[in-house]
Amino acid sequence: MKRAAPNISEALSLLKSRYGDIPHTQLKHRNNTDLFVAVLLSPQCTDKQTNAVTETLFKKYRTFDDYANVDIRRLSADLGGLNYYKTKARNLKASAQMINDRFDGRVPKTMDGLMELPGVGRKVANVMLNEGFGIYEGIAVDTHCAVVSRRLGYSRHMDPKRIEQDLLRKIPEKEWGVVSSLFIELGRDTCKAAKKECKRCILKEICPSSNVA
């Protein structure tokens, strides 16, 4: 018979013992302007791919004025190494204009404010709030986090919003800030979407999807 979902405190404590207490984003940035840009550009790309593009980008663009005023074709060309670069260029320019016009040139510090910006969904907003401001209003659910949540039995859903709701119900608020990062580390290390490597996994004894007897 399949095991039930493990006690969340036990699972998180094991994950912290392996991956550290609060792993931070691997998106390179110098400040919250860079962080916002990197997070906005990161969907559908690896962190490595995003960092390769932003390394050059951040040398050319330093403020939201720079992004707001650049010609859109030039910005698209500067984002050329990313998937969906044309859409991302449009969203980045429009977001920078809105940040200047509505938020005094600063990244908004609330979920509602962030969600008004073009191209910003809950996941992007959560990462920005967590990493940029140390604010935890939700749990950022990316592909790794979704796969791990389902395999551990914390959610049965495919939709990231519904997975996030399940996690928010089951996980104590004080842990919201670390869950996503720990699940992402596990997803990159052993619980890969294409092939799980349960033998090496720190949760193999308590995970309902473990293939280790």
How far apart are alpha carbons 123 and 163 in whole angstroms? 12
Considering the complex, state which of residue 140 and residue 203 has its C-beta at the smaller distance from ligand SF4.
Answer: 203
Does 155 interact with ligand SF4 (rule: CB under 6 A)? no
**Tokens at residue 118, please?**
């073009």
178 versus 201: smaller Cβ distance to ligand SF4: 201
Question: Residue 73: what are its φ and ψ, rounded to 5°?
Answer: -70, -35
Options 20-28, 38-46, 138-146, 191-199: segment touching ligand SF4 (CB under 6 A): 191-199
Give min distance, CB of 204 to ligand SF4, in A. 4
Q: Which of 151, 164, 180, 183 binds ligand SF4 (CB under 6 A)?
A: 151
Residue 79 contacts residue 61 (beta carbons within 8 Å): no
Instruction: Determine, following the binding rule CB under 6 A, whether residue 207 of this chain makes contact with ligand SF4.
Output: yes
Phi, psi of 196 (to 5 degrees): -85, 145
What is the rounded CA–CA span in Å between residue 121 and residue 140? Answer: 10
Q: Which stretch binds ligand SF4 (CB under 6 A): 14-22, 96-104, 117-125, 194-202?
A: 194-202
Residue 149 in the binding site for ligand SF4 (CB under 6 A): no
Joined together, the tokens standing for residue 158 give: 């495919």
